[in-house]
Structure 1
Amino acid sequence: MNVVTVTEPVSVRRWRWSDAVRILLAVLWLVAAATTWWTTPRQVDFADAQAALADGQVTVFQWGDLWDGSEDLWFGDPQLTSSGSRGPLFAWRTPDHRVFWVETGEFHQSSASDPADGDYASAGAALLGHDLDTRGLGHRSGNLTPLHTLVAVLTIVLGLTFLVVLVNGAAPRRATRWYWFWIGLLVPYGIGLLFWLGRDRSAGAEQRASGFVGLGLGVAAMLFGGILMVGLNAVFGDRWVPLSP
């Protein structure tokens, strides 16, 4: 007696254009997030500012008195603003495009120049200004974060592509379009976009989360994300988890 074995053909998932789009979006998000992390201004001590000047690590600097924490869709772009005087904040960019800043008003030294001399806001600012002049760096005032232009362009590309695919593409399987809209918009740092890219590819679920659920989860993620970042910053410091000033 002959036994006939029937083997079912193995189904191979076909490559779709949407798969390429998802991979491209993930790569663009990674570039934007890494650039933001690298260029976020980090606060250091006054001695670090003096050491940077002495070691030739100041390619561009700015004086200011307030950080303006303007926000893009997902990634922040803090700008140092000034009311006219030099200081009390001093920020600089290193050759590898990292940005650091110091509060010069916390520095006290009786031998430092008079704050009024040269329109400096503090004795520490006057001392750093003197170092800039003596080292021939006084002409290097300029834009601290030129790479943020790249981040802004990537954010626009990511946001527009996300909306176009969400509205005109196939209906999401695990949640409604409104659910993913709120998740993508509200979850900090564009992490909601990654959830959408990875989670909604799976087989369909019996129940689809509604837009109200997405709105609630997005707001909760905003609140929890801020608390989490503060906690991680307290543990690991500005070097690994920088907070926007």
Structure 2
Amino acid sequence: MVEQQPGGVVTRAVATGSPRSRTGALRAGAQQWQRAVGVVLVLGWVVWLACALLALPRPVSAGTLEQDLAAGRVASWHPVLLDRHEESLFQWVDRREPSPVAPGSEVAPPERRTVGYLVDGVVGRYRVVDVTGVGDELAQRMRDAGVPLVLPLRGDPGTVVPPDVERWGAVALGFAGFLLVVSGPRPTRGTRWFWFWLLGLPAGLGVLAYAVLEVLRPLPPHVPWAVPQGRMGGWRGFLVLVLGGILLAGGLDALGSWLGPAWTLPR
């Protein structure tokens, strides 16, 4: 807007609410929402990890069972079946999932029978002896030690957090990460394909990495990696998934062996 002032002086005033100022306000608002989404995703991962530590069964050896019995930590037990299945195509591990069964059930072949038991405490209190073929011997050992037989109700072994809560939390966390990778802001460190592959890393670490590195702390536009030619692509993401998944799975197992079965982190 141009105004004529006394003395022939011409001044130019910029009207409030110009397109440039509105664009800046919208950009600032979008950045605030992006940071809020990143914080919620990180907090969601922390909550899921806590639920996993409280709910997931811990595979232990027969020696660990004997140690728990000797220390008087075993509160109850029940027979379970061990089923082997691949939890994820790119996780490269087989996980044994315990399924509670009734004693003497005809659908419980001896080569798959073992026992699950609860110990005193809060974290990692549900443990399953990861040895098949000795279920009858382990059950007799529990009876000889005077441990009460308590069958779980509706698949809940008696943990502080039911396993279904952890399972659905993992689904929600993975789905939220997938939606952000597919339809969220353009990533700055890697392409969408790069982050798509990394979502398969163990323990939800791919979702956590995306929330921190792309949602909360994206690279500024002048950084070379922020241009499309400099970002990490899908093939590199696949290699990181394979190699990183193997290393992380081994690291989590080693950490669990060092910290003990109660603090074994989920994959």
TM-score, length basis structure 2:
0.63
Q: CA deviation at 1:242?
A: 5.5
The unaligned stretches of length 5 or more in structure 1 are 1-12, 107-114
Question: In the TM superposition, what whole-angstrom CA distance separates every residue of 1:182-204 from its partner, at most 9, and x where no partner exists?
Answer: 1122x211111111111122313
Write the distance in 2 (CA, Å) between the matches of 1:211 and 1:88. 43
Write the distance in 2 (CA, Å) between the matches of 1:178 and 1:242. 27
Instruction: Find the residue that maps to 1:195 and give its secondary structure.
Output: helix
Q: CA deviation at 1:180?
A: 0.8
Verify the 8 A CA contact 1:71 1:77 in the aligned structure 2: yes
Verify the 8 A CA contact 2:197 2:241 in the aligned structure 1: yes
Question: In the TM superposition, what whole-angstrom CA distance separates every residue of 1:67-97 from its partner, at most 9, and x where no partner exists?
Answer: 54663799x9853246256996221234737
Question: In the TM superposition, what whole-angstrom CA distance separates every residue of 1:16-54 from its partner, at most 9, and x where no partner exists?
Answer: 22221111111111111122223332522325247245x
Write the distance in 1 (CA, Å) between the matches of 2:141 and 2:49. 36
With over 3 angstroms needed to count, the CA separation of the structure-2 counterparts of 1:93 and 1:236, relative to structure 1, is: closer
Q: How does 1:90-169 map to 2 (within 5 A)?
A: 90-94=115-119, 96=122, 98-102=125-129, 121-122=136-137, 124-129=138-143, 137-142=148-153, 143=155, 144=157, 147-169=162-184
With over 3 angstroms needed to count, the CA separation of the structure-2 counterparts of 1:218 and 1:72, relative to structure 1, is: closer
With over 3 angstroms needed to count, the CA separation of the structure-2 counterparts of 1:23 and 1:103, relative to structure 1, is: closer
Q: How does 1:1-245 map to 2 (within 5 A)?
A: 16-39=32-55, 40-43=57-60, 44-46=64-66, 48-49=68-69, 51-52=72-73, 57-58=75-76, 61-64=77-80, 66=82, 68=84, 71=87, 78-81=96-99, 83=108, 89-94=114-119, 96=122, 98-102=125-129, 121-122=136-137, 124-129=138-143, 137-142=148-153, 143=155, 144=157, 147-185=162-200, 187-200=201-214, 201-204=218-221, 205-206=223-224, 207-241=230-264
Verify the 8 A CA contact 2:114 2:129 in the aligned structure 1: yes
Q: Please report the RMSD computed on the Cα atoms of aligned residues, expressed in angstroms.
A: 3.7
- The amino acid of 2:204's aligned partner reads G
Structure (1 or 2) with the larger CA radius of gyration? 2
Instruction: Find the residue that maps to 1:63 and give its secondary structure.
Output: strand
- The amino acid of 1:23's aligned partner reads V
Instruction: Find the residue that maps to 2:208 and give its secondary structure.
Output: helix
With over 3 angstroms needed to count, the CA separation of the structure-2 counterparts of 1:177 and 1:90, relative to structure 1, is: same
Give the structure 2 partner of residue 4 of structure 1: none
Verify the 8 A CA contact 2:82 2:132 in the aligned structure 1: no
Q: CA deviation at 1:241?
A: 3.3
Between Structure 1 and Structure 2, how many residues are aligned? 210
The unaligned stretches of length 5 or more in structure 2 are 1-27, 102-107, 225-229
With over 3 angstroms needed to count, the CA separation of the structure-2 counterparts of 1:154 and 1:239, relative to structure 1, is: closer
- The amino acid of 2:51's aligned partner reads T
Question: In the TM superposition, what whole-angstrom CA distance separates every residue of 1:157-191 from its partner, at most 9, and x where no partner exists?
Answer: 11222222222222112211111111122x21111
Write the distance in 2 (CA, Å) between the matches of 1:94 and 1:45. 10
Q: CA deviation at 1:65?
A: 5.1
With over 3 angstroms needed to count, the CA separation of the structure-2 counterparts of 1:19 and 1:77, relative to structure 1, is: farther
**Identity between Structure 1 and Structure 2 (%):** 18
